[in-house]
Chain A
Amino acid sequence: MDEILPTQEIGSLSRHLMFKENLSNSDIKSIIEQGISLEVPNIELLEKLLLEGGYRKYPEEIEKFASLFAIKLFEKVGLDIIFNGEQPRKEMYHYPLQFIEGFRFVGEVRVFDNQYFPKGEVIAEPKLKIPYHLNEFLFVKENTKKKIKIPITGAYTLADWSFNTFYQKKWISKLGDYYKEKYEAKRELAIELAKKIIRENLKALIENGAEIIQIDEPAATTVPEEIPIFVESLNESIKGLNAKFHCHICYSRDYSILFPNILEVKNLKQLALEFSNRDSIELGVDEKSRRGFSFLKKFKQFSSSLEIGIGVVDVHTDFIEPVELIRDRILYALKVLKDEKTIYVNPDCGLRTRNWDVAKNKLTNMVKAVKEVRISLK
């Protein structure tokens, strides 16, 4: 990477308006205007497709256009490492499950407030139908000169977010201890997913030129006793593969429980974590103002080898963090870690719950803040 403090997105943008059914003329007009301002090529074709039925009639073409919009937005904002805003994916859990045999959806479960996600149940041994991120990667590769990072939902998170009916029934009454049976069932599922699903996807991506891959594991620290399962599954997914691997984890009660186990994952290069959600919005590089970043001290103690991606904007609020606030968050990380070469700058998490204007403004300020810090370090 040429510059210090490389900027990256964690993954998603909200699904673009162009996916909506029954778009009004004013919707189409605003999409086209946005496309022109982002300098998206073939915008006339998009207008034609939207007028003739849109996503319902031309799903693949619309997915590609939405991806192009995201790529152009990230490029225009000035991010160093980009992807497609996960536009073809409805959701980070729902999307991969469509390509895995052995799962079925059983209903929606709440994540927070009025937000729900469709929850799957494992009813047979998982089998990969086809590598499910290859087409989107090839499309991004064709359409940008920027560095590309592909986010992929990790094995432990897929296991943790699913009802583990198949393996629990297999283990029940085998050990005479309900807790241990559930643990072993979870381990077996996570390792099966790592070997049969995630690793196969990664191999397909790397064979086609992928260089940076982010394993999304938001569930990694959910159950402290299961950290060994998470670490084993991550290892099984990436060991011996030739790419740079990042792992994104967020909204943890305590990131420090990842250590020392996470250091056993030899092929892991970076942890990208959420911090700003728990931070104050006061300016300053003191501990009180930057209380959301307190884990960085422990990170420095624990890890000598890993890079860290610091979440400098909160993805759960429309508040646009001023450049000065983001700058101070970065400066605080530099003050604690004392090594600018190991720090990457990103939002806390994917920006799926924000609209594109908010996402763009947050990312724009993030890039501006990084530029200010780079200048101040020269």
Chain B
Amino acid sequence: MIKLYLTGLFPRNKSLRRALRDYDKKLIDRDALKKIYTEETIELVNLQEKNDFDFIYDGMLTWQDFLRPLCNSKSIFAGPLIRWFETNFFYRVPLIKDKIEFTKPSLSEFYLLNLIKEKSSICLLDPISFLHLSENNYYRSFDELFYDFSNYLIKELEFISHNHTLSAIHLVSPILGFQKIDLNEIHLLEQFIKNLKKIAPSANISLNLYYLKVYENIRYLSEIQADIIGLDLCYGDREKIAELTKEISSKYSLGLIDSFISYAEAPEYVIREINKIVNKLNIKEEVYLTNSSELDRLPYEIAVEKVNLMGKIKKEYKNG
């Protein structure tokens, strides 16, 4: 059985892009912009519902990049523009300038969860990736920094989880896919996920490895104990990844919907690839299908086409 979900920033459609341009030029006010955000989020939620997605998210349409919403505290500031991995998207580096402490919730404002009726999920960067992509100008040790940042993040997520029933929390981990990290950091991440399960016990925790082309971290994935391991299967050597990920998890999410190509994959091609990997990984239970990495690298219309493709694949797979 195939289940579906999306992760990462979803592209904004034409009317939202226009509204943002108008807002930047002060031609419309914040309320008018908020109205457009609401309309476009509802449209995206409907698109996922129509295609029978198993976890539904808001598309993160208000997010400027994966890190910016966490640059709102007194200790983390948005810094210079830096290339986002091997893409032509640029993010602002968070500059950590002071001790990170939770004062009041602010992350919740960036999730439009009230617009999702059921199967709500949220998506965010895992703390290891966030800190690797930041510039630390305050802490002397990574452990100390991680401790404060993960506590801060947990408190933000606790507030969200307290106010909304979350069926899934999707952690996106480009760093785990893209570069080798220390075993110590794996243990820190493991502890973070344990804490996450405590504050959101009914939510499935997925860990999604974007840009997966460095394979050394794969052997540690079973230690992390995420409920679902998501694999970007469009970036590195697909066969090798499948070989290395055998028996690390009971639930896999296959990132076979390529966020870097402009045409929707043929359903029969994707089904063939799913079957190949399911056999290789000896998956007995359900398997998830997801986007390889964030769909924001595609124009909106193509991303929508890919979401519809995922719905079609689920239906065809069910029908044998």
Whether the pair A316, B300 counts as a contact (CB closer than 8 A) is no
Q: Is A153 an interface residue (CB 8 A)?
A: no
CB neighbours (8 Å) of B87 from chain A are 222
Whether the pair A116, B80 counts as a contact (CB closer than 8 A) is no
A222-B88 contact in complex given A107-B300, A107-B302, A251-B83, C-beta closer than 8 Å: yes
Whether the pair A251, B82 counts as a contact (CB closer than 8 A) is yes
Q: Is A161 an interface residue (CB 8 A)?
A: yes
Considering the chains assembled together, what is the distance between the CA atoms of A253 and B178 in angstroms? 13
Q: Kindly identify which residue among A109, A114, A179, A251 contacts B236, using a CB–CB cutoff of 8 Å.
A: A179
Interface string of A165-206 (1 = CB under 8 A from B): 100100000000111000000000000000000000000000
Whether the pair B82, A161 counts as a contact (CB closer than 8 A) is no
Interface string of A108-131 (1 = CB under 8 A from B): 111111101001010000000000
Whether the pair A109, B64 counts as a contact (CB closer than 8 A) is no
Residues of B87-137 at the interface with A, using a CB-CB cut-off of 8 Å, are 87-92
Q: Is B182 an interface residue (CB 8 A)?
A: no
Q: Is B239 an interface residue (CB 8 A)?
A: yes
Whether the pair B238, A178 counts as a contact (CB closer than 8 A) is yes
Interface size class of A (residues with CB under 8 A): 20 to 34
Residues of A147-171 at the interface with B, using a CB-CB cut-off of 8 Å, are 160-161, 163-165, 168
Whether the pair A107, B91 counts as a contact (CB closer than 8 A) is no
Considering the chains assembled together, what is the distance between the CA atoms of A251 and B24 in angstroms? 24
Considering the chains assembled together, what is the distance between the CA atoms of A298 and B233 in angstroms? 35
What residue of chain B has the Cβ atom nearest to residue A115's Cβ? Answer: B90
Whether the pair B86, A114 counts as a contact (CB closer than 8 A) is no
Considering the chains assembled together, what is the distance between the CA atoms of A109 and B84 in angstroms? 14
Q: Looking at the assembled complex, report how far the CB atom of B301 sits from the nearest CB atom of chain A, in whole angstroms.
A: 6
Interface string of B66-93 (1 = CB under 8 A from A): 0000000000000011110111111110
Considering the chains assembled together, what is the distance between the CA atoms of A112 and B83 in angstroms? 9
Whether the pair B238, A179 counts as a contact (CB closer than 8 A) is yes
Considering the chains assembled together, what is the distance between the CA atoms of A113 and B64 in angstroms? 5
Whether the pair A107, B81 counts as a contact (CB closer than 8 A) is no
Q: Is A270 an interface residue (CB 8 A)?
A: no
Selected A-B contacts with CB under 8 Å, 25 pairs: A106-B299, A106-B301, A106-B302, A107-B301, A108-B14, A108-B17, A109-B296, A112-B89, A112-B90, A112-B91, A114-B21, A114-B64, A116-B17, A165-B263, A177-B238, A178-B233, A178-B234, A179-B237, A222-B86, A222-B88, A223-B86, A224-B86, A253-B83, A253-B85, A278-B82
Q: Which 7 A-B pairs have the closest CB atoms?
A: A107-B299, A163-B262, A112-B90, A114-B20, A223-B86, A113-B64, A277-B80
Given contacts A109-B11, A114-B20, A277-B80, 7 further A-B contacts (CB under 8 A): A107-B298, A107-B299, A109-B298, A110-B89, A112-B64, A178-B234, A316-B81
Binding site for B on A (CB under 8 A): 106-114, 116, 119, 121, 160-161, 163-165, 168, 177-179, 219, 222-224, 251-253, 277-278, 314, 316
